[in-house]
C-alpha cells in the first residue's frame, strides 16, 4: 500500500512537491537564493555537464549534480588568491558565494582562468544588497558587485561570453535585516519571488575561457 508521503510525491510535479515541502518546513532554502539557485541550475543544465570535470572553490553544493568528475578545494588548505591549482585541469570552476569573502578577487578569477581548459567556464554567485557577514577568524567580507560590475570584472580578467543575472525585492531585503548571521527561509505561501531590478540581492554570472 502506498503511503501518503509517496502518493503526494507521485501526484505532484517535482517543482510543486518541492514548494509543498518548503511550505511545510521540510525543506529549507534562503529566500534570497531561490531564484539564483534556479537560474544557475538552468545555466549548468544547458551544458553537456555529464562530460565536464568540475572544480568547486570552498563549497560542495554541486557535488551531486552529475558531472563527469567533481572536486572541491577549500580554504585555508587551498587559497584561490595565491596560485592556480594547476593549468588546464577542469572544464568548470564554481565560485558559490565565495568572491565577496576573498581579499584579491581579481587574482582569484585569473587563477580560475588558468585552471580552465580552452572553452571552459566559470560560474559565480555573489550577493549585492545583503548585510555585512564576515566570519571572524575564518574570512572577511570585502566586496559587492552589481550585474554590470560583475560583467566588466570578468571581461577585464579575460573571460568572454559573459552572461549575468540578478534578483531581489524590498520585502526580502527587509526580512533579512535581522541581527546576526541569520537569513529568512523561503515559504512559497507568504514570500514573493517578484523581481525588483532596483533592489538586487543576489547576482550571478557564467563566463567562458577563449
- What pLDDT is attached to residue 8? 44
Cα separation, 4 vs 22, in Å, equals 17
Once rounded to an integer, what is the mean pLDDT over residues 106-128? 98
Q: At residue 5, does pLDDT exceed 80?
A: no
Confirm if 129 and 201 have CB atoms less than 8 A apart. Answer: yes
Write the pLDDT tens digit of every residue in 175-207.
Answer: 999 998 899 999 999 999 999 999 999 999 999
- What pLDDT is attached to residue 169? 98
State pTM to two decimals. Answer: 0.87
Strands 53-57 and 69-73: parallel
* Residue 24: band (very low, low, confident or very high) from pLDDT cuts 50, 70, 90: low
- What pLDDT is attached to residue 139? 84
* Residue 20: band (very low, low, confident or very high) from pLDDT cuts 50, 70, 90: low
Cα separation, 204 vs 95, in Å, equals 10
Once rounded to an integer, what is the mean pLDDT over residues 81-85? 97
Confirm if 56 and 72 have CB atoms less than 8 A apart. Answer: yes
* Residue 27: band (very low, low, confident or very high) from pLDDT cuts 50, 70, 90: low
- What pLDDT is attached to residue 189? 94
Cis amide bond preceding 166, omega within 30: no
Once rounded to an integer, what is the mean pLDDT over residues 117-134? 97
Average pLDDT of the residues of the chain = 90
- What pLDDT is attached to residue 137? 73
- The Cβ of residue 76 has, within 10 Å, a number of other Cβ atoms equal to 8
- What pLDDT is attached to residue 135? 82
- What pLDDT is attached to residue 148? 98
Q: Cα–Cα–Cα angle for 186, 187, 190, nearest 5°?
A: 120
Buried b / exposed e over 156-195, threshold 16 CB at 10 Å, is ebebeebebbbbbbebbbebbeeeeeebbebebeebeeee
Once rounded to an integer, what is the mean pLDDT over residues 114-123? 98
Identify the bridge partners of residue 122 per DSSP, sorted by sequence position. 93, 207
Structural domains of the chain ordered from first start: 34-168+200-208 (3.40.50.150)
Q: Give the rounded distance of the alpha carbon of 79 from its chain centre.
A: 19
Once rounded to an integer, what is the mean pLDDT over residues 85-112? 97
- What pLDDT is attached to residue 138? 77
The x, y and z cell numbers of residue 99, run together, are 568572491
- The Cβ of residue 101 has, within 10 Å, a number of other Cβ atoms equal to 20
- What pLDDT is attached to residue 181? 86
Amino acid at each position: 500500500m502506498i503511503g501518503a508521503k509517496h502518493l503526494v510525491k507521485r501526484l505532484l510535479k517535482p517543482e510543486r512537491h518541492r514548494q509543498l515541502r518548503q511550505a511545510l518546513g521540510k525543506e529549507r532554502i534562503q529566500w534570497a537564493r531561490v531564484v539564483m539557485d534556479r537560474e544557475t541550475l538552468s545555466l549548468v543544465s544547458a551544458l553537456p555537464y555529464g562530460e565536464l570535470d568540475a572544480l568547486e572553490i570552498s563549497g560542495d553544493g554541486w557535488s551531486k549534480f552529475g558531472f563527469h568528475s567533481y572536486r572541491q578545494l577549500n580554504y585555508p588548505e587551498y587559497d584561490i588568491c595565491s596560485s592556480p591549482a594547476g593549468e588546464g585541469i577542469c572544464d568548470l570552476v564554481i565560485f558559490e558565494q565565495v568572491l565577496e569573502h576573498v581579499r584579491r578577487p581579481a587574482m582569484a578569477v585569473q587563477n580560475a582562468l588558468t585552471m580552465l581548459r580552452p572553452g571552459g567556464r566559470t560560474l559565480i554567485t555573489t550577493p549585492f544588497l545583503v548585510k555585512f557577514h564576515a566570519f571572524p577568524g575564518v574570512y572577511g567580507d570585502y566586496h559587492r558587485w552589481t550585474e554590470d560590475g560583475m560583467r566588466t570584472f570578468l571581461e577585464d580578467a579575460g573571460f568572454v561570453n559573459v552572461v549575468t543575472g540578478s534578483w531581489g525585492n524590498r520585502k526580502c531585503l527587509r526580512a533579512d535585516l535581522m541581527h546576526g548571521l541569520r537569513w529568512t527561509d523561503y515559504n512559497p505561501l507568504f514570500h514573493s519571488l517578484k523581481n525588483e531590478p532596483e533592489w538586487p540581492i543576489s547576482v550571478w554570472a557564467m563566463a567562458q575561457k577563449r
